[in-house]
Amino acid sequence: FQKIYDYEFLYPILIVIGLVLLLVVVRQYILNKSNKNLQKIVEEKTKNLKLLNETLEEKIRIAVLENTNKDAMLYQQAKMASMGEMIGNIAHQWRQPLSVISTTVTGLNFKMEYGIDVQPEEMIDNLERVNDTVQFLSKTIDDFQNYLKPQDVEEKFNIKEVIVKNLEMFGKAFENNDIKIILNFDDIFLVNSKNELLQVAINVLNNAKDALKEFVSENRLLFVSIYKEDNNAIISIKDNAGGIPEEVLPKIFDAYFTTKHKSQGTGLGLYMSYQIITNRFNGSIDVTNDEFEYMGEIYKGANFKLILPIDTIIK
């Protein structure tokens, strides 16, 4: 009786255990099958993602290449436009020296033609005047040739040399428009492309000159300062032409954006300046409308700030 009872008690337990084992086996089978399906799905998704990633990488590579080519093209366009403007400025700069040479030679020729005595001292003075003028013209050509040097040449230079060189080349254009230039320079040295910074200075100074030309006033002022602020060298170019319209400020460094007539500007000068300062000098350039006092008078104008990190400065 005891054995029968034990078996009767044992059978249900064995059945339950068997069912549990069966469930475990079935569950494991289902899990294995699910895992294989999931693994297959994961492999398929991974393959698709890899393919998508490769496609995106290729698209990004093409986009970067296109943008690089676009920037290079824009830079070249801006460079050519700037060269055209520079040649125009040089031609304007040469008018007076050529007039001096013409007047001097014509005067000597007139005296010799009509038998008027020319004293040796007068002849020497006239020849020296012509020679000095020719040397000035030759120096202008040298400056233009230096400007055309490869832009990636790095050299140590004093920042103020860039502004001084600019004013030597184009100062007459400011003088002819009755623009008074106030300079305030600290001596700060860089090792970088002097020509590229010269290009930026040309663009920003020309922009200020054009604004002042349209400004109806007997007191046209341009302030150029070079100083240190925190860990940066600052080049500030500020005019008193009333400022830039607020709606224009956010677009001032965009390619092809210009407020001038199409015959007067390409809209690439400030764009190129932004690219040079940010990419070549690892700096920044911004513009604000500032109110300021000078000689007891309150003025308002655009203030372009070129901000160059201190780690590019030779201490």
Distances (CA, A) of 183 to 106, 158, 167, 238: 39, 15, 11, 11
- Predicted confidence at residue 244, as pLDDT, reads 92
Beta-sheet pairing, 313-314 with 284-294: unpaired
The reported pLDDT for the residue numbered 97 is 77
Confidence (pLDDT) at 263:
41
* pLDDT of amino acid 290: 94
CB 208 within 8 Å of CB 237: yes
Full set of structural domains in the chain with CATH: 157-315 (3.30.565.10)
What is the distance, to the nearest Å, from the Cα of residue 26 to the centroid of all Cα atoms in its chain? 70
Q: For position 1, what pLDDT does the model report?
A: 46
Handedness of CA 53, 58, 63, 68 (dihedral sign): positive
> Whole-prediction pTM value?
0.64
pLDDT in tens, the chain (315 residues): 444 555 566 666 777 677 777 776 777 777 677 667 767 776 777 777 777 777 776 776 676 666 666 666 666 666 666 666 666 666 766 777 788 788 888 888 877 777 778 788 888 888 888 888 788 777 777 766 666 665 567 888 999 999 998 888 788 888 888 999 999 999 999 888 888 898 899 889 989 999 999 888 889 999 999 999 988 999 999 999 999 999 988 888 887 776 654 444 556 788 888 988 998 899 999 999 999 999 999 999 999 999 998 765 444
pLDDT for residue 315: 43
CA-nearest of 188, 205, 211, 213 to 281 is 188
How crowded is residue 47: how many other Cβ atoms within 10 Å of its Cβ?
10
Q: Give the integer Cα–Cα distance in Å for 197 and 306.
A: 10
Q: What is the pLDDT of residue 277?
A: 93
